[in-house]
Amino acid sequence: MQRLHGPGALRLVKENFGMASFDPGLADVVAAETRLSHVDGAAGELIIGGYRLEQLAAEATYEEVAYLLWHGRLPTAEELARFQEAAAHYRALPPLTGEVLRQAAENRSAPIDALRMAAATFDLGLEAADGLARANGNNGNLAENGAAPAILARMASAVATYGRLQVGLSPVAPDANLGHAANLLYMLEGVAPEPKRARALEIYLITVSEHGLNASTFAARVIAATGSDLVSAITGALGALKGPLHGGAPGPALDMVFEIGEASRAEEVLRAKLAQGERLMGFGHRVYKVRDPRADVLAAAAEQLLAHGEGKALYDLAKAVEATALRVLAEVKPGRKLDTNVEYFTALLLHGLGLNTDMFTPVFAAGRTVGWIAHCYEQAATGRIIRPQARYVGEVLDAWTPRAAR
């Protein structure tokens, strides 16, 4: 190898890369083929497992969406019943997982951190930790065997358990007779939820179940691609989801609505924020350049949930703030195509369900778990490791400087 210094070193590396192009955020790189979802940012359309999101939100249960993504087709009534039973069977957390959550609560860890610590223990008590390798090429067994249904069930149980522990309440044991979403609320609140509230949460979980090659899904696929196990991949995905540039941002959208307080102040407050160079939370999206289809689905669910009293007043305020924000953004940021994103109505819906802001991202994770798992299987089936290249921009130094001379 020819040795070069400074800018010359950069030239050397570039030459070695041949046709490879440099795309630091990978935004223009297509790194996977998927049957799981299609995100059409120009048309504002989201297809999950072949169906439009709007149709799934109206018709499906969360378990049906899980089956659809893991098997590539909707289950028969009998298959669905078997799938629900298998997933419900795993809802009780392994004792050590419970202990990890208790210690995290004592430590006052953020809920998303507690969930990441707990997730790493989800395979305790399973027959084989490596559900991914075992089921690879044998998707027929995915629903009933291996780590997949256990991770699905335990993610929701861990979210609910920590929701109680962090406010000093004792955990509630799962109820196998309830659906996935209803059981999550039951384990959080200790009483069986009204069907309307369980359905609102279920629509949320379906809406966020799958969304292309986002950062956490990509992280899960990278881990799965090495032949690692499902629990490792999901734990890694949680780490990626935690960041404010990905899943950690729904709280501020609600804070903005509360700060405005009444519709008549919206224009003044929003204009002042924009004049100070602030961004309006819950608006704009990297992929969607029209309205995020998830926003409408969640707005409709929020409207159903918050139909009376204080809830209705908050819903009306949020809609008024949204309308003003869209008008002001179009005027102040013309041509930027800024529309309402998923976070705006996520915040309203989850708040309406009585969840604290710091539980929003963990509940998002519970919803996205089925998508992460499906992507892991899809990636593992390719048998290919994901290994991009890095461009070396350092130097190649000829002489070693002795410690005393540095």
Q: What are all long-range contacts of 385-390, with beta carbons under 8 Å and residues at least 24 apart?
A: 385/225, 385/226, 386/31, 386/221, 386/222, 386/225, 388/26, 389/17, 389/20
**Contact 332/271 with Cβ under 8 angstroms?**
yes
Which DSSP helix (H) or strand (E) runs through 79?
helix 77-89
d(CA 359, CA 196): 20
37: β partners: 48
d(CA 93, CA 68): 25
Q: Count the neighbouring beta carbons within 10 Å of the beta carbon of residue 138.
A: 10
By CB under 6 A, which span of 62-70, 255-263, 312-320, 331-339 interacts with ligand COA? 331-339
Two tokens at 308? 């009376």
Q: Interface with ligand COA includes 285 (CB under 6 A)? A: yes
Could you say which of 3, 35, 196, 336 contacts ligand COA (CB under 6 A)? 336
Q: Interface with ligand COA includes 279 (CB under 6 A)? A: yes
Strand order in the sheet with 37-40: 37-40, 45-48, 51-52
Known active-site residue 343: yes
d(CA 274, CA 331): 11
CB of 311 to ligand COA, least distance (A): 23
Could you say which of 338, 365, 374, 376 contacts ligand COA (CB under 6 A)? 338
- Catalytic residue, from 71, 285, 351, 375: name it: 285
CB of 232 to ligand COA, least distance (A): 27
Q: What are all long-range contacts of 133-138, with beta carbons under 8 Å and residues at least 24 apart?
A: 133/227, 133/229, 133/380, 135/377, 136/377, 136/380, 136/381, 137/381
d(CA 266, CA 403): 62
Residue nearest to ligand COA (CB): 284
Q: Interface with ligand COA includes 242 (CB under 6 A)? A: no
Strands of 49-89, DSSP E: 51-52
By CB under 6 A, which span of 8-16, 213-221, 337-345, 362-370 interacts with ligand COA? 337-345
Judged by CB, which is closer to ligand COA: 119, or 281?
281
- Catalytic residue, from 63, 322, 343, 378: name it: 343
Interstrand relation of 51-52 and 45-48 (parallel, antiparallel or unpaired)? antiparallel
d(CA 81, CA 75): 9
Q: Interface with ligand COA includes 280 (CB under 6 A)? A: yes
Could you say which of 63, 130, 229, 343 contacts ligand COA (CB under 6 A)? 343
Could you say which of 146, 171, 282, 367 contacts ligand COA (CB under 6 A)? 282
CB of 286 to ligand COA, least distance (A): 4
Number of residues lying near ligand COA (CB under 6 A): 15
Two tokens at 182? 């209803």
CB of 331 to ligand COA, least distance (A): 12
By CB under 6 A, which span of 20-28, 100-108, 110-118, 336-344 interacts with ligand COA? 336-344
CB of 282 to ligand COA, least distance (A): 5
Q: Interface with ligand COA includes 327 (CB under 6 A)? A: no
Q: Interface with ligand COA includes 341 (CB under 6 A)? A: yes
Judged by CB, which is closer to ligand COA: 35, or 286?
286
d(CA 147, CA 129): 7
Could you say which of 112, 342, 353, 370 contacts ligand COA (CB under 6 A)? 342
By CB under 6 A, which span of 63-71, 158-166, 218-226, 280-288 interacts with ligand COA? 280-288
Q: Interface with ligand COA includes 249 (CB under 6 A)? A: yes
By CB under 6 A, which span of 87-95, 189-197, 232-240, 283-291 interacts with ligand COA? 283-291
Could you say which of 83, 283, 372, 377 contacts ligand COA (CB under 6 A)? 283
CA within 13 Å, CB half, 106: 6
CB of 336 to ligand COA, least distance (A): 4
Residues that bind ligand COA (CB under 6 A): 249, 279-286, 333, 336, 338, 341-343
Could you list the active site residues?
A: 285, 343
